[in-house]
Structure 1
Amino acid sequence: MSENENSQEKNELLDALNSVEEVNVGDVVKGEVLAIDDDKQVIVGIQGTGVEGVVPLKELSTQRVDDVNEAAKVGDVLDLVVISRIGSDKENGSYLLSHRRLEARKVWDDVEKEYEAGHTIKAPVTQVVKGGLVVDAGVRGFIPASMIDDHYVEDLNAYKGQELELKIIEIEPSENRLILSHRAVVEKQREAQREEALKTLQAGDVVEGKVARLTNFGAFVDLGGIDGLVHVSEISYERVEKPADVLKVGQEVTVKILSVDADRERVSLSIKATLPEPWDGIEEKAPQGAVLDGKVKRLTSFGAFVEVFPGVEGLVHISQISHQHIATPNDVLKVGQEIKVKVLDVRPDEKRLALSIKALEEKPQTADDDNESQPERRSNNNRRRNNNRDNRTASERSTANAPEESTGFTLGDLIGDELKNAESNNDEN
């Protein structure tokens, strides 16, 4: 080899050595896949450096990778970030690399841009943890329980697997912190829906809704953007003590709009106004003389109100409760007691039903005797009075029954003559 050739070869070697770039932690490099090691990691050659690096299975992607062969093949060129140095020998040392973290860095950049622009992002819920939900937004995001929805959520598992629209509340890439809120999105949507609902809902409309909340005084029904109140008195024609006794959260209901107050954003609703009127056809359902099953609903000083059909109550007057004398209905009846009653009178127009309990009970013997003796005494007295009248002479009956004009005597004259006759008889004696 000539001297010139040796000199040229040395220069080329020096150029090659000088062209080798130094590798530093945090650098973004390109690595060509040289081999797959035991299906657990990828061996790559870092381009432009003359050194190798290792990419563990968990560092291949932000998505879960079960088979390394699905994520990389020999000859692939990957964008990687240098995590740390393995070994101290510069020539033979290698580096720990990650494709996942480089992807995450790009995601963080994208998320930051969305945050600065005030945009929302979408992400699926991957895990339920204490205090909230974990989502996959390309990077790990967290939704605190208080920011999941605009109402209390009892079972967070219901959200697992759902893709939610989320508002970015806090972002800190250096600490891998991403706090998100679904509640803020829901509230904004509901505000728009509320404004639209207040414009379109009108008194008298019959609409569908879903029970959102239950209280002691009524039920709040979601009409799609605004909640309306069904007062406890408007739930059913039957008396309802607690809304929770007849309704459940999430239940679909049909309601009639009673009023809309746009200024106060209040809507009054009724469920019972959509139900059949219970008094319709009452004359056929409860004709006079019919015997019905009923339940005592209320007791007053003058009687008992008994429900014989849902929403139909009749009055058993205190005098119709028992053959025996009672001071108050509470002496013999209790609220909730099931009884049989007889219909005494039906007034559909007035929505009144007169009922009787004692009409279905046999009269006590003492009461029968007393009731029978009264007519007998009256009959005997009448017979005695008739006999006395019959004992009078025909002329006396005629005189007594004749009008004053036909006899020629006044009543005073007749009485005077009787008195004179009585005095004459006394003198003779």
Structure 2
Amino acid sequence: MSEQDYSQSEMEKALSSVHEVKIGDVVKGEVLAIDDGQLVVGIQGTGVEGVVPLKELTSDRNANINDQAQVGDVLDLVVIASIGHDKENGSYLLSKRRLEARKVWTTIEDKFKADETLSVTVKEVVKGGLVADADGVRGFIPASMVADRYVDDLKKYVGETFEVKIIEIEPSENRLILSRKALVQQEKAEERKVLFEKLLPGDVVEGKVARLTNFGAFIDLGGADGLVHISEIAYERVDKPSDVLKVGEDVKVKVLSVDAEKGRISLSIKALLPGPWDKIAEVAPVGAAIDGKVKRLTTFGAFVEVAPGVEGLVHISQISHQHIATPNEVLKEGQDVKVKVLSVDPENRRLSLSIKALIEQPASEKKQESAAVPEEHYEIPEADTGFSFGEMIGDALKKNLDKDSDQ
């Protein structure tokens, strides 16, 4: 073989070893220079060059390109466009970021097929939901799929990292729809089961106010909500739970009852508070004259609040020296009055009071005590007053009953 033939043969071999560059090819590029915010690379095995802009190196727009690569580095890149027309010396636009994203998409697809969860970090709040990052791939979590209940402020999730379920995936359209709700529901179902197994009446636990209604407050105990009825919030009267509690507030509660079959938990806040009757003997000792407010009027007397959560009964016979048919003849609800303490029974929560004991009896009435004739019908008192029905209507009825029995 002549020298000319040998040279021609070697040239043909060299040319045959040069591969044609196509869009979508994964290639290796050696960094030849860093110029004007981009890398100039030689595509190995092709004899042509390409460029890699900073935005195709990393998703961090504020990154320094010199921190991303150095001259002599060999990078795995994907060809995304041709920016030259000379086949031998033409340039190509290459990307490291998109190649990494392609690998991530493959991983995500594999997780989707295997029904596995995906770890993401929330980046921002957009109209209708959250944008989350999954190793460089942008995913979307609709607002209705963020939690198992309505969330009015999605901003609190920004920066959080959590597991999500893949709902829909389409790499060619960069479409990735995710859901956190499904996992939250699953976790709560497991927590709920554990909670009902271990929770017992009498337990004292901590929770967070989840919702407020007109009849009480629902407390999140971690897996299930328990109800604090409005009557169990405080010893004093509560008109609206929102006057005392706030959503998101941490509270300590006592478990009153647990019904696993119906999924109900009854709780009490006031059971852990000092009882208003604990020191009532000091606040309202027998014989003392104290201030009070008329809370309720009945046919047999008036209930007067003398301390938060403590009401005493002023029997109709103890309201005035003059005979009255009903308490509302001389009293009205909300009226401030001064009362004398006749008897105190903290154990049974009974407090007997008198208004007339602090009023001087008219001289004309001292000689003749008016006998109050009880009405034929009496209002049944509430169960928590501490007074029996007979005590409510007074001794007058008892005397009449005794008189009838003797006849």
RMSD across aligned positions (CA): 2.5
How many residues were matched structurally?
368
Aligned mate of 1:36, from 31, 34, 37: 34
Q: Which has the higher helix share?
A: 1
Assess if the C-alpha contact under 8 Å between 1:58 and 1:65 holds in 2: no
Structure 1 residue aligned with 2:95: 98
Q: 1:152 to 1:376 in 2, by over 3 A?
A: closer
Structure 2 counterpart of 1:214, one-letter code: L
Structure 1 residue aligned with 2:71: 74
Structure 2 residue aligned with 1:284: 282
Which secondary structure does the structure 2 equivalent of 1:284 belong to? helix
Assess if the C-alpha contact under 8 Å between 2:47 and 2:89 holds in 1: no
Rounded Cα–Cα distance in structure 2 between residues aligned with 1:134 and 1:254:
36
Rounded Cα–Cα distance in structure 1 between residues aligned with 2:26 and 2:330:
92
Assess if the C-alpha contact under 8 Å between 2:286 and 2:344 holds in 1: yes
Rounded Cα–Cα distance in structure 2 between residues aligned with 1:333 and 1:376:
26
Q: CA deviation at 1:189?
A: 0.9
Structure 1 residue aligned with 2:309: 311
Which secondary structure does the structure 1 equivalent of 2:2 belong to? helix
Q: CA deviation at 1:219?
A: 1.2
Q: CA deviation at 1:350?
A: 3.4
**2:56 is the counterpart of 1:59:** yes
**2:82 is the counterpart of 1:85:** yes
Structure 2 counterpart of 1:254, one-letter code: K
Which secondary structure does the structure 1 equivalent of 2:245 belong to? coil
Q: 1:14 to 1:152 in 2, by over 3 A?
A: same
Assess if the C-alpha contact under 8 Å between 1:61 and 1:103 holds in 2: no
**Superposed, which structure 2 residues align to 1:8-407 within 5 Å?**
8-38=6-36, 40-138=37-135, 139-318=137-316, 320-321=318-319, 329-330=327-328, 335-357=333-355, 359-360=357-358, 371-373=362-364
Which secondary structure does the structure 2 equivalent of 1:16 belong to? helix
Q: 1:330 to 1:145 in 2, by over 3 A?
A: farther
Structure 2 counterpart of 1:132, one-letter code: G
Q: Which deviates more, 210-219 or 67-76?
A: 210-219
Rounded Cα–Cα distance in structure 2 between residues aligned with 1:152 and 1:164:
18
Which secondary structure does the structure 2 equivalent of 1:88 belong to? coil
Rounded Cα–Cα distance in structure 1 between residues aligned with 2:150 and 2:251:
21
1:222-274 CA distances to partner (integer Å, 9 max, x unpaired)? 22212111111222221222211111122222222222111222112122222
Q: CA deviation at 1:26?
A: 0.9
Rounded Cα–Cα distance in structure 2 between residues aligned with 1:194 and 1:73:
55
Rounded Cα–Cα distance in structure 2 between residues aligned with 1:21 and 1:299:
101
Flag structure 1 segments of 5+ consecutive residues without an equivalent.
Answer: 364-370, 379-429
Q: What TM-score does the superposition give when structure 1 sets the normalisation length?
A: 0.79
1:150-185 CA distances to partner (integer Å, 9 max, x unpaired)? 222222111111111211111111111111112211
Which secondary structure does the structure 2 equivalent of 1:70 belong to? helix
Rounded Cα–Cα distance in structure 2 between residues aligned with 1:288 and 1:377:
27
Percent identity (aligned): 67
Structure whose CA Rg is larger: 1
Q: 1:376 to 1:51 in 2, by over 3 A?
A: closer
Which secondary structure does the structure 2 equivalent of 1:73 belong to? coil
Assess if the C-alpha contact under 8 Å between 1:62 and 1:104 holds in 2: no
Rounded Cα–Cα distance in structure 1 between residues aligned with 2:228 and 2:368:
63
Q: What TM-score does the superposition give when structure 2 sets the normalisation length?
A: 0.83
Structure 1 counterpart of 2:128, one-letter code: G
Q: 1:132 to 1:325 in 2, by over 3 A?
A: farther
Assess if the C-alpha contact under 8 Å between 1:209 and 1:254 holds in 2: yes
Structure 1 counterpart of 2:32, one-letter code: L
Which secondary structure does the structure 2 equivalent of 1:304 belong to? strand
